[in-house]
Structure 1
Amino acid sequence: MELADAEPVKAAIRLQGERLHQHEEKFSVIHQAVRDLAEQQHGLQASVNTQISDMAEAVHRVLARLDTGATAPALSDAAAHPQQLAAPPTTAEPLPGSHAVPLPCLAPPDKFSGDSNDCR
């Protein structure tokens, strides 16, 4: 092979080597990103497992209380687990000794016509 014919082949090989090097660098970056994501996933999975275990323990405690007939948690247990206290009732209950007065039944208001002069 003549020297003049070898020059384009050498240039093509050099170009392919540069491209391979660029691809290798990109794959290295991608590989590290995948490793980082795997570590994050492992941490999240451990956190979820811990939360599920805590919830299972709480359910078992509640079931044990229900089986024994206990109606209110002990103060020390409530202090140890404040997030497990029952939420206050959403409906208003009458105070002890008072009489519940039912709310009056009102008809729905007329539909607004869109004219502000109709307002009182």
Structure 2
Amino acid sequence: MNVSPSTEFKECGSASAKALAAKLAALSHPARIEILKHLSGNRACCCKDVVQQLDLAQSTVSQHLKVLVEAGLVRFSAERQRSLYEIDREALAGISASVAGLVETCCSSQPA
């Protein structure tokens, strides 16, 4: 079966390709993966909670959380004197679907 490449990934410079690459780049550090794993088991938690789970300095965890928030993978909210972080499950599901679609497109098409 010959499947044409997904229009989502036809151009290297397409907006959707750039958005996916930015999200995947945010996932490309082991500490951020561990942070996401920790956040996935909690409704919302502060940076201090994450620091207690990982062997990293508070400033390092803060920088990693900032990257995840900027990529849209984690939501940030301020509550009184605490900064709360919560995983964005819809965003992660979107990445999963995009990568699955890319793999399906790449693996299903026959070389020319």
Q: Fold conserved (TM > 0.5)?
A: no
Q: Tell me the TM-score range normalised by the shorter chain.
A: under 0.3
Q: TM-score, normalised by structure 1?
A: 0.23
Greater length-normalized contact order (CA 8 Å, ≥ 6 residues apart): 2
* Richer in helix (by share): 1
Q: TM-score, normalised by structure 2?
A: 0.25
Structure number with bigger Rg:
1
